[in-house]
Amino acid sequence: MSEQTRPLIQVKNLKQYFDINMGFGKAKPLKAVDDISFDIMEGETLGLVGESGCGKTTAGRSLLHLYKPTGGEVIFEGRPIKTKKDIADFRTKATMVFQDPYSSLDPRMTVSDIIAEPLDVNIAYHPEYKDKEKRRRRVLQLMEYVGLNSEHAARYAHEFSGGQRQRVGIARALAVNPDFIVCDEPVSALDVSIQAQVINMFDDLQDKLGLTYLFIAHDLLVVRHISDRIAVMYLGRMVELAKASDIYDHPLHPYTKALISAVPVPDPKVAKANKRISLTGEIPSPLNAPPGCPFHTRCPYAKDSCKESMPVFDEIETGHYVACHRVKEIND
Amino acid sequence: MALLEVRDLHTSFFTDAGEVRAVNGVSFDLDYGKVLGIVGESGSGKSVTAYSIMQILANTGKIVSGSIKYNGQELVGAGEKVMKEIRGNKISIIFQDPMTSLNPTYTIGRQLREAILLHTDRNKEEAKARAIEMLKLVNINEPEKRMKQYPHEFSGGMRQRMMIAMALACEPDILIADEPTTALDVTIQAGILELMKDIQKKIGMAIIMITHDLGVVAQMCDEVIVMYAGSICEQGTEDEIFYNPCHEYTKGLMRSIPTSDNQGEKLQPITGTPIDLLNMPKGCAFAPRCDAAMKICIREKCERFQINDDHAAACWMNVKKAAEEGGATA
Ligand SMILES: Nc1ncnc2c1ncn2[C@@H]1O[C@H](COP(=O)(O)OP(=O)(O)OP(=O)(O)O)[C@@H](O)[C@H]1O
Ligand SMILES: Nc1ncnc2c1ncn2[C@@H]1O[C@H](COP(=O)(O)OP(=O)(O)OP(=O)(O)O)[C@@H](O)[C@H]1O
Ligand code: SF4
Ligand SMILES: [Mg+2]
Ligand SMILES: [Mg+2]
């Protein structure tokens, strides 16, 4: 990370609810993201982890205003994003690499058109690319950034391997020359050997172009490798946020502790010595989030008071945020 | 005699584009109470090896040659009647994607009961009791209620556990688990792996654990097979494979994963593109991607080479090293 000077993005009390039809004309809000706040510094990589369905993708989309947030505020470069114009401007500075390299690219489009689409859509912002030759050169430059052969420009996405498709998706996200990219599970679908290539590429691009990332993934070893700080979500809420090494070596929230203890370590001696914290109890649905701390149904430390009120997301140590009523007692 | 003996297995798919040699001379033994891990790149033939053992290949697929012996009984060419006896009773499989092997229109209870009735000589009442017992064993709470539900009402992790319950209900001698936890969250994955180990210890079955996650291997396995392009490139005890890898592909695989030791460093990926089974190179299949490749690697395929009692690899580097050392002592 370059100097950790000022936040590029500030997220304040972001909420994203979906109306779920319950039949009989009744709807119920599904609180996919519920009141999360964090900053991402310029040039930083913030990792975002948590179990399937906890709201990671939704948080990324909502932050980018691909959904209209139900509540809260996103501040980019010091300016809150409010009007349609703000959102349109923001989209040229903040983009997304989507979760599934197999389905997120249109099979009927050539690689070159897929990569250039964000330029074509935002042509008002980049009038220079009305010039066919300039557009072509930009596409080739982007392909070079992500290590794709220029001969591939005229081919279709379905002719590519998973790793190559992921590169196409990344080149496309880079097209508008953004400052910030939400990377949603960009390596999860890839084979291990290809994963390493793509992870290194994210690193290199960050150095070269000064990018800031929100890096969503469920593989904690990958996230630790690439992130400066890591945020942990549970059932739509943020439960812990700290430096990557602190999350990994010194987690404070009971859920993070369980999560880290369950990571399969690729070293037999370490793996066999590991004491896993097992979680029992029902995994609640975001449609019926329990009152109080969302983790209390599975938390080994839960007390009656945990069922009553929502713990505050508090700075427990410098730069280390945790939402747990009992954080002090259990970490003594 | 080992519980399962696979010898020089060759399995191909006969497609319009030509013969796809998916499994190319695989041999291994498996004993009671052991967990054998099979790792390797996507497309390296892990699943096809498993499907060959079960003889559940697609129509275009065929075991071309080789032998698979279960308790001394030859299965290759034994016919569908014998295989029906083996499948589910003696050897069970958990598939990569649970939805492919569950019937969406039947309740969980019905599917479990039918599997048990088919593969054991329990009566209806006993089968139901056994089904409930198995659901409890895989940590599905309120099993009586759950029996009445349909697969889509289960979460991914619950469906996977249900598959494990089904595979174990008939107390097989061998459980083949094909990426049983890939789609699951780590907390749930860890629970399922522990559960499989517990049950294995209790009933003494053998497990073949197919995965691309070296973390899962480190946690579960006694022995490991590393596959590349349809062949075994390295085979040994878990400690040998992790702490003394002797094939350049395995070494590359170990370097390319993030660990505690390479924090803040660049990962070292395996370069190049995965193998095309329709265009196999003449020499070592890994040679086009191997940084250490020598002339002989490109010319000739390396045979299996015994490193020590617990370890074999098919890489010319070992042959060269042995020759040098042998030369020095001679
Ligand atoms: N468009 C939508 N309409 C209704 N519900 C949705 C929608 N998108 C997401 N959800 C729900 O919101 C919750 C969070 O989903 P989200 O996709 O953000 O999870 P995730 O953390 O990205 O999970 P995964 O790791 O599986 O990708 C889930 O319960 C999901 O079913
Ligand atoms: N029905 C089929 N027809 C033609 N080729 C096939 C068929 N099934 C598998 N193959 C080929 O056989 C090879 C081995 O496939 P297999 O499914 O065993 O790989 P794998 O090691 O299990 O990979 P993964 O990790 O992706 O599951 C692949 O190249 C695959 O394309
Ligand atoms: S035999 Fe040669 S090419 Fe093959 S892995 Fe070994 S060193 Fe590399
Ligand atoms: Mg997601
Ligand atoms: Mg497979």
Is residue A233 pLDDT above 60, yes or no?
Answer: yes
Nearest residue in chain A measured CA to CA from B42: A191
Mean pLDDT of all residues in B65-75: 97
Does residue A52 line the site of ligand 1, with CB under 6 A? yes
Q: Which ligand is nearest to the CA of B298?
A: 3
Residue closest by Cα to atom 6 of ligand 1: A18
- How far apart are the C-alpha atoms of A136 and A133, rounded to whole Å? 5
Is residue A129 pLDDT above 50, yes or no?
Answer: yes
Q: Which residue has the higher pLDDT, A22 or A315?
A: A315
Is residue A280 pLDDT above 90, yes or no?
Answer: no
pLDDT of residue B330: 46
Does residue B319 line the site of ligand 3, with CB under 6 A? no
Mean model confidence pLDDT for chain B: 90
- Global pTM reads 0.89
Is residue A69 pLDDT above 90, yes or no?
Answer: yes
Of A125-129, A212-216, A325-329, least confident by mean pLDDT is: A125-129
pLDDT of residue A126: 87
pLDDT of residue B174: 96
Could you say which residues from 100 to 159 on chain A have a Cβ atom under 8 Å away from some Cβ of chain B?
none
Residue A195 Cα to ligand 1 middle (Å): 24
Q: Is A222 on the interface with B (CB under 8 A)?
A: yes
- How far apart are the C-alpha atoms of B232 and B275, rounded to whole Å? 14
Q: Is A279 on the interface with B (CB under 8 A)?
A: yes
Contact A192, B257 (CB under 8 A): yes
pLDDT of residue B328: 58
Assess if residue B231 is contained within a domain.
yes
Mean pLDDT of all residues in A292-309: 94
Contact B23, B49 (CB under 8 A): yes
Handedness of CA B316, B227, A158, B266 (dihedral sign): negative
pLDDT of residue A197: 87
Mean pLDDT of all residues in B89-116: 86
**What is the rounded radius of gyration, in angstroms, for the C-alpha atoms of chain B?**
21
The ipTM (two decimal places) reads 0.84
Residue B326 Cα to ligand 3 middle (Å): 20
Residue A63 Cα to ligand 3 middle (Å): 48
Q: Do B218 and A280 touch (CB under 8 A)?
A: no
pLDDT of residue A2: 45
Does residue A18 line the site of ligand 1, with CB under 6 A? yes
pLDDT of residue B89: 87
Is residue B121 pLDDT above 90, yes or no?
Answer: no
Mean pLDDT of all residues in A96-106: 81
Is residue B217 pLDDT above 90, yes or no?
Answer: yes
Of A173-187, A248-262, A273-287, least confident by mean pLDDT is: A273-287
Longest dimension (CA), chain B: 73
* Nearest-CA distance B64 → chain A (Å): 28
- How far apart are the C-alpha atoms of A172 and A109, rounded to whole Å? 13
3-state SS, residue A95: strand
Mean pLDDT of all residues in A223-239: 96
- Look up the CATH number of the domain holding residue B287: 3.40.50.300
Phi, psi of B266, rounded to the nearest 5 degrees: -75, 140
Of A52-66, A73-87, A289-303, B174-188, least confident by mean pLDDT is: B174-188
- How far apart are the C-alpha atoms of B314 and B321, rounded to whole Å? 13
Ligand 3 atom at shortest distance from the alpha carbon of B297 = 2
Does residue B302 line the site of ligand 3, with CB under 6 A? yes
* Nearest-CA distance A329 → chain B (Å): 24
Assess if residue B45 is contained within a domain.
yes
- How far apart are the C-alpha atoms of A305 and A235, rounded to whole Å? 19
* Nearest-CA distance A238 → chain B (Å): 17
Nearest residue in chain B measured CA to CA from A283: B155
How would residue B168 be classed by pLDDT, with cut points 50, 70 and 90? confident
Longest dimension (CA), chain A: 67
**Which tokens sit at B186?**
């780590």
Q: Which CATH number is associated with domain A7-93+178-331?
A: 3.40.50.300
Looking at the structure of chain B, the number of domains it has is: 1
Mean pLDDT of all residues in A27-51: 95
Best of A36, A56, A233 for a ligand 1 pocket test (most atoms within 8 Å of beta carbon): A56
Mean pLDDT of all residues in A31-37: 96
Q: Which domain holds residue B257?
A: 4-90+172-325
Q: Do B259 and A220 touch (CB under 8 A)?
A: no
List residues bridging with A9 in a β-sheet. A40, A76
Q: Can you list the pairs that A262-265 forms with residues at least 24 positions away whose Cβ atoms lie under 8 Å?
A: A262/B186, A262/B187, A262/B189, A262/B190, A263/A220, A263/A221, A263/B186, A263/B215, A264/B186, A264/B189, A264/B190, A264/B193, A264/B213, A264/B215, A264/B216, A264/B218, A264/B219, A265/A221, A265/B215, A265/B218, A265/B219, A265/B259, A265/B260
Closest Cβ opposite residue B268 in set A196, A224, A258 = A196
Is residue A36 pLDDT above 70, yes or no?
Answer: yes
Mean pLDDT of all residues in B82-97: 89
Is residue B196 pLDDT above 60, yes or no?
Answer: yes
pLDDT of residue B329: 52
How would residue B90 be classed by pLDDT, with cut points 50, 70 and 90? very high
Domain residue spans of chain A: 7-93+178-331, 107-177
Which residues crowd ion ligand 4, with CB under 5 Å? A 57
Using a CB–CB cut-off of 8 Å, the residues of B that contact A are: 41-42, 139, 141, 155-156, 184-191, 193-194, 212-219, 238-239, 242, 252-254, 256-260, 262-263, 266-271, 273-274
* Nearest-CA distance A273 → chain B (Å): 10
Contact B193, B161 (CB under 8 A): no
Q: Is A273 on the interface with B (CB under 8 A)?
A: no
Contact B133, B156 (CB under 8 A): no
Q: Which residue has the higher pLDDT, B159 or A83?
A: A83
Q: Which residue has the higher pLDDT, B104 or B49?
A: B49
Is residue B179 pLDDT above 90, yes or no?
Answer: no
Tens digit of each residue's pLDDT (9 = 90 or more) over A131-188: 999 999 999 999 988 888 888 899 988 888 777 888 899 999 999 999 999 999 888 8
